[in-house]
Amino acid sequence: MPSRIKKFFLSFSFRAGAVFFIALCTTLVGLRIQTYYRSLYISYADVRARIDAHASDIDQGISRYGAKYAEYLVHAILQDTSDKRLYLLFKDGKSLTGNLSAWPPEVDPKATWQDTFIAQPGGAPPLHLLVRITTYKHRRYVLLTGYNLERVDMLRNALLRVTISNVLLSLFMSFLISIIVVWMINRYLQGINRVAGRVMGGQLQTRVPVSGTGDQFDKLSANINSMLDWIVTLLGTVRDSTNAIAHDMRTPLSRHRLELRALADDATLPEKTREKIAAAMMRVDGIVEMFDDILSIARAESRSGAEMFAPFDIAETVSDVIEFYAALIEEKPLSLVSDLPAWPVKITGDKQLITQAIVNLLDNAVKYTQQKGHISVSLKELDGRIAITVADDGPGIPEQFLDKAKERFFRVDESRNTPGTGLGLSLANAVAGLHHGTLVLEDNHPGLRATLTLANEAVE
Amino acid sequence: MKLLVIEDDESHAQFILTGLREAGHTADRAKDGMDGLFLATEEKYDVMIVDRMVPKLDGLAIIQALRASGNKTPVLILSSLAKVEERIKGLKAGGDDYLTKPFEFGELLARIEALVRRGNSEQSEQTTLTLDDLEMNLLTREVKRAGTAIDLQNKEFRLLEFLLRRPDQVVTRTMLLEGVWDFHFSPNTNLIDAQMSKLRQKVDKDFKKQLIHTVRGAGYKISAKQD
């Protein structure tokens, strides 16, 4: 089955529509069919009641005046030509009286009630009869009372026609209503979906329209909107507090660093002491750097950084970063192979964060790969996605830690003595997320292969 | 040079004032935004150093008020707000440069001097930059020293151009990162040293006279004068 058709059958629209259609159909069609049988049953019961009424007259006559009276009674009834009933009275297997010449072969003399067709002489259509057989005096007398069901049949036919057209109409209406209801729900869901997509894309001010009818959908919309308001408030709080933390932490750290600098430059202190002070100053820089990384990660993860999005040439950025590391790569020495397109590759994103992510990937490769090792950097463009791969043949990351390596402050035990904050990959991962992409870490057999994928789509 | 420092934090202010005086400049200090704005309008300064979060009047508001009244004194914003958005906000408000705390005094001094020079010599459309026997053609992208062509890679060219546009000025590593690479975060600054030593190999190695100088505790300087 083609995937599109399969997708349609699995879609909410189809399933909801089908359920709604079946429910509506069962109710409407069921109602029609019930009406049909009920009406038919009533007219049938009416016929039986009439036959019973006559039979009971005859019964009473026989019990009062003897079986012989039945013969007169039937005879008398037959004088009334308006009566369309058939009567036949038998005694010891012989016909006594009635408006039938002989016992019809279609009627079983032993059964009580029978719905049967009796052939007519002269090619006329067979008579549809409801027949009642009554016996008296130990089966010596047998009375056949038949009622023409012609009118019941007419009613049945009329009812059947009405019912069929009703059922067809019900099917059509159910189908139409199902489609309309599903369309309405879909339109509503799509509205919510669009808003959710925009919000995730960084347009935090987007809200679901509220129609003002106060129905369930409106309540849902209102709830989603208040949820979004709450998210915006929280993000604002986070932003305000990170700003406050930035200020409140940076100011004393800066003061601390200024004092250390003054001491490090103080010529009256012994050289050894000044060296230690300078080292302490570098550690302050390390703290500030770590702090900046945490704030960058927080900003990227909160998806509130989209206001910094602008178009730029990412191929140039990658090549700049490679050139930035070229001197160090030559010095170590390492060999680097790059596979970049010769033409500009435009992407809309946060240039500083993306650059920082690429720097972090290449920095790891340069830092952990041994002398004479190999690094390769490539940029590929595919289906509006840009994949930047940095691979090395260094020690890599053990298989079980590949996912963990993207977490904040995670460091493989062996690398704890290498300088670094343990935030590099975590920042690259957050940057990928901000640009609707991924960071994939793989074993390069040997070494590490890191692929940063970014969606190259302009944010609405 | 006469400077105005608008800074509420006592130790920062003292450190900056001492450093400026040691470097041979005179400086006034304002403890809050109101004083700062008053001094800035009353006196004539070469550069102003403005902290963003000062009492009474926000640093950016001071700058906007000055710019609105036609005051074009170069302003260096010194702030704890380090995010790129904040930097952009500061420059949009009329700041000429943005430095985040913590900072090296050498960095601050180099940036102040760069601001003053930029203010003095409005950069004309130059096609060649020269210093002593070093010559750079910006159109053909040819670099020659004493008539010999020097082959430079893209970023080496940009690095040398950045230095040549600021002769005899201290250029810090961060200024190079921002100006040449457009990196507004702090990657391994040792890499600048590696880049610079490569550039020196090409520019200075075969010549007796060294043009690119290391300035201890600050950065680099290109100069024909020998120390």
Of A320 and A148, the one with more pLDDT? A320
Report residue A293: phi and psi, to 5°: -65, -45
Q: Are A297 and A408 in contact (CB under 8 A)?
A: yes
- Nearest to B3, CA basis, from B169, B99, B115: B115
Q: Where are the domains of chain A?
A: 14-154, 229-301, 309-455
Q: Residue B4 forms beta bridges with which residues?
A: B28, B48
Q: Residue A453 forms beta bridges with which residues?
A: A387, A438
Cα pseudo-dihedral A87, A90, A96, A97, rounded to 10: 0
Give the pLDDT of residue B51: 93
State the Cα–Cα distance between residues A294 and B198, nearest whole angstrom.
Answer: 33
Chain A: give the shortest CA distance to residue B88, in Å. 10
Tell me: pLDDT of A163 over 60.
yes
CATH number of B128-222: 1.10.10.10
Q: Of A93-97, A174-178, A372-376, B57-61, where does mean pLDDT reach its minimum?
A: A93-97
Of A245 and A46, the one with more pLDDT? A46
Q: Is A327 on the interface with B (CB under 8 A)?
A: yes
pLDDT mean across residues, chain A: 83
CB distance A251–B81 less than 8 Å?
A: no
Give the pLDDT of residue A120: 76
ipTM: 0.84
CATH class belonging to A309-455: alpha beta
State the Cα–Cα distance between residues A294 and A247, nearest whole angstrom.
Answer: 15
pLDDT mean across residues, chain B: 88
Q: What is the mean pLDDT of residues B30-53?
A: 93
Give the pLDDT of residue A54: 77
Q: What is the mean pLDDT of residues A419-442?
A: 87
Chain A: give the shortest CA distance to residue B163, in Å. 17
* Nearest chain B residue to A278, by CA: B217
pLDDT tens per residue across span A104-152: 888 887 778 888 888 877 777 888 888 888 887 767 778 888 888 888 8
Q: Which residues contact B53 (CB under 8 A, 6 or more apart)?
A: A247, B8, B59, B79, B80, B81
Q: Which of A256, A265, A352 sits opposite B84 (nearest CB)?
A: A352
Residues of A in contact with B104 (CB under 8 A): 261
pLDDT tens per residue across span B149-199: 999 988 889 999 999 988 888 898 888 988 888 888 776 667 888 889 889
**Cα A47 from chain centroid (whole Å):** 56
State the Cα–Cα distance between residues A236 and A234, nearest whole angstrom.
Answer: 5
Q: Where are the domains of chain B?
A: 2-120, 128-222
- The amino acid present at B132, given as its one-letter code, is D
Q: Which of A284, A326, A359 sits opposite B102 (nearest CB)?
A: A284
Give the pLDDT of residue A101: 73
What's the CATH number of domain B2-120, 3.40.50.2300, 1.10.3720.10, 3.20.20.70, 3.30.70.360? 3.40.50.2300
Give the pLDDT of residue A459: 42
CB distance A251–B101 less than 8 Å?
A: yes
Give the pLDDT of residue A416: 61
pLDDT tens per residue across span A236-272: 787 777 767 767 788 889 999 988 988 988 889 898 9
Of A135 and B201, the one with more pLDDT? B201
Residues of A in contact with B81 (CB under 8 A): 243, 246-247
**What tokens appear for A183 in the block?**
């369309």
Look up the CATH architecture of domain A14-154: 2-Layer Sandwich (3.30)
Q: Are B150 and B143 in contact (CB under 8 A)?
A: yes
Q: In the block, which residue shows the tokens 């026997």?
A: B133
